[in-house]
Chain A
Amino acid sequence: MASSAVVAHEIRSEGGFLPWLLAPQRRGPLLVAPALIVLFLMNIFPLLWSFGLSFYNYSAKKRDVPDFVGLRFFERVVTDPVVWERFKTTAIIVSSSVLMQLVVGFLLALLFAKQFPLRRILLMLVLTPMMLSLVAVGVFFKLFYEPTFGLVSQAVAMFTGDRYALLGSPTGAIIGVVIADAWMWSPFVMLLVLAGLVSVPKYLYEAAEIDRTSPWRRFQTITFPYIKSLLLLAVLFRTIETFKLFDVVYILTEGGPGTATETIGVYVYRLAFQYFRTSQSAALAYIILFVVIVLTSLYLYAVNRRAQEVD
């Protein structure tokens, strides 16, 4: 009551509400306010709301009043074998895809660390996949793998005489998804590693050459220490992103054959928007969020370590 009286007095003494609001000491908060409001409405409020829903029995399909059930859905989610099966599938795809991205990205970075004709144009082309939309990449690879007229099948048929259905088996489908994801994101790993490679002082290599050290020794003692943290950063960043993989899988295989490529992201989508088990999907989404937060913390730790190294 007293503070509102003070504010009212200030407004009067400053000649009205608008001059009071636009006073220099309030301009900073005023400029930040729209962003904060949008952030609250678009991110924080839905997050809190869905977190609240995970403790209630509620389906968005029905108009029933939510019924408080405590931790029932969290318990149901962690004891559901289907959820663990989807986590397992996700782990297989994440580990294979990130490993492939690291290998391909690293090799590309080694290639582009050297100067050669048309390097800039080739670099631009290699970077193109990560700039494409995920949906476009999914459709592109679906056609690529299509067994009747797709390029992969046609190429295999040249040698075997028979069409090849890569997505027809669980292993083949996982390989198909991993290749599509790695194709898109290996350039990202390459960029990070390339940044590390170009930061290595040239005199170190010159000194190593005078000492006649082998290329492998040079890599071990000079190159690798400089790119180590960046590689870790790439691993963490790509792990977090691949863990949430949805678009490419949904378009390429829709989780099939059967459920062989159904990642946890696709399963949350099914729970939420096909089965309309709103509370259960919210509980599962928060468990995934917890996993991602743990990974993000590791990522931040790696970033800090890199900053310390640079300093």
Chain B
Amino acid sequence: MKRSWEGWLHGVSLVALAAGSLMLAPGQANAADITITMAAPDWPPTRFMKEEFDRSFKSASGNNITLEMDYIPWPSFYERVAASLTSGEQKYQMIVTDSQWLGSFVDGGYYKDLTEEIKNDPELTAIMKDLHPALVSAYSTYPNKSPQFIKDNPFPAPDTHYYGFPQFPDTYVTFYRKDLFCNETEAKKFQESFNQKLPCTYEDWQDVDWTVYENIGKHFMRKKGDPLGDGVADDDFFGVSFQAGKSYDFSSMQVNAFIWQNGGEIWDETRQPEAQAEGVVNSDINVKAFEQYLNFIQYMPPVAKTGQADIFVIQDLYMQGKTATTIDWVGLGEPVLDPKTSRVHDKSAFGPAPGVRKEDGTIDRTGNIGGQPFVLTTWNSPEVDAAAIEVVKWWLKPETQKKFAANGGQSGLMSVMADPEYDSLRPWNRAHKEMLDWQRDVWHVPEFFELLTQQQEEFDKAITGQITAQEALDSIARFQQQTLEDAGRIE
């Protein structure tokens, strides 16, 4: 009797122990089902990520990890993500985020600081060291560190916190009509008019500065019925276009390029609290650079005069054959080559964006980085965090990155970009690689949306001819000085 009682006790203990160990270590004894919901803008780079995940992701931990994308249209992306985060619903475990939002949502306590995870994981450390410094600077660090600082201080840089990894690194490049730019008649006329060579090959475009680009603008302005290439223009035709839109950041991204290339500066968040806005933002150099930007509006489709030439509008006008060339994000290149959406799908080629020619003859192409990192949220359990890190590692594996680059995306890994095959994966890859070295970013501080909105409004007034470049920049400088002083970022 005593023996059977002891046996029963022993049996119960074993069952309890087994149950306890299962509860304490989920996913080790048995595979756990983990679903990661990611907030993502609705466009090809994130659609590809989901499709490729479903095709090729295999969890190293053996867990059943599912990636659910919550696709949000671009125009409402910020508002939807912000509303979700601030409501406390804790819906997302990962978020594709614009780099400028880092400060806002890190300070709010929503984005997870991954510095220790990266330090303690050799695979993640290797990824971080392989990423292009411009991307680490813009997409990962907050408080922001400059690309030069990241270049000089590989991971882990002193006094630096890391948050994000590149989901899609983007730069703007030139989209151009090779049937027009490589047309003999057009080339001859251009040579006669400007005593310059009309750029045709990629190498020609490497030598295009803003002066040549302006001449291109003048040259290709045609009325309906005018000769164009080997035929006639079936509608009014316009020389050039780049972003000049009031929405979100659709003029700041291009104006910043003009400012930096001319040697000007925006308020430098990496030098708080000494860096000033007044005197810097409205410096003579910046005014001259902004005037140079405004000068191009006359050679652009008339929508630019309304301040509504956003990145999608200029892409659309280019695809409908209304402009000879446009400067737009690589991320918007794929539809240009699609016969279903583009009238110029078989006539388009890509080159680096123009820049300012320096005294030594080289061209400064400094631009404002595009694209987005993805981050983890702070409320994830350790199991979900581990699963999310697996997703990060999978996405930044060279094989995945190459497939992404072959399908219209771009890689941020220098080892992948160094592959000789990379340039030929898509027609814009060479230009993107060349442009990546020139990238800088706008501010990442929590006040960025106020700074951006006011700046966009003033730029828009200048674009639509209501005020001068000087007046616009004076107003922006005053507003930034006041806002940043109030926030304690300028002393």
Contacts and interface: CB of A to CB of B under 8 A. Distances in A.
A168 B461 contact: no
B303 A147 contact: yes
B302 A153 contact: yes
B339 interface: no
Contacts of B365: none
B323 to A, nearest CB: 9
B169 interface: no
A61 B86 contact: yes
Interface stretch (A99-107, A189-197, A253-261): A253-261
A275 interface: yes
Interface residues of A, number: 33
A308 B105 CA distance: 58
A61 B466 contact: no
Contacts of B464: 168-170, 256-258
A168 B306 contact: yes
A290 interface: no
Nearest to B86: A60
B457 A165 contact: no
A148 interface: yes
A276 B460 contact: no
Given A147-B303, A167-B308, A63 B82 contact: no
A254 B79 CA distance: 15
Given A163-B302, A257-B246, A273 B109 contact: no
A165 B303 contact: yes
A183 B393 CA distance: 55
Contacts of A128: none
Interface residues of B, number: 38
A254 B250 CA distance: 13
Nearest to B308: A167
A275 B463 CA distance: 24
A146 B303 contact: yes
Contact of A275 (B235, B317, B450): B450
Nearest to B109: A63
B301 interface: yes
Interface in B287-303: 301-303
A304 interface: no
Contacts of B463: 257
A274 B449 contact: yes
Nearest to B459: A258
Interface string A124-165: 000000000000000000000011110001000100010111
B107 interface: yes
Contacts of B303: 146-148, 165
B460 A257 contact: yes
A271 to B, nearest CB: 10
Given A61-B446, A148-B322, A256-B460, A273 B79 contact: yes
22 contacts: A61-B82, A61-B446, A63-B109, A147-B301, A148-B322, A149-B320, A153-B302, A165-B306, A168-B465, A169-B464, A169-B466, A170-B464, A255-B246, A256-B306, A256-B308, A256-B457, A256-B464, A257-B307, A273-B83, A274-B449, A275-B453, A276-B82
Given A61-B104, A148-B301, A258-B246, 7 more contacts: A62-B107, A63-B109, A168-B464, A169-B466, A253-B308, A257-B466, A258-B457
Interface of B: 78-79, 82-83, 86, 104-105, 107-109, 223, 235-236, 246-247, 301-303, 305-308, 317, 320, 322, 446, 449-450, 453, 457-458, 460-461, 463-467
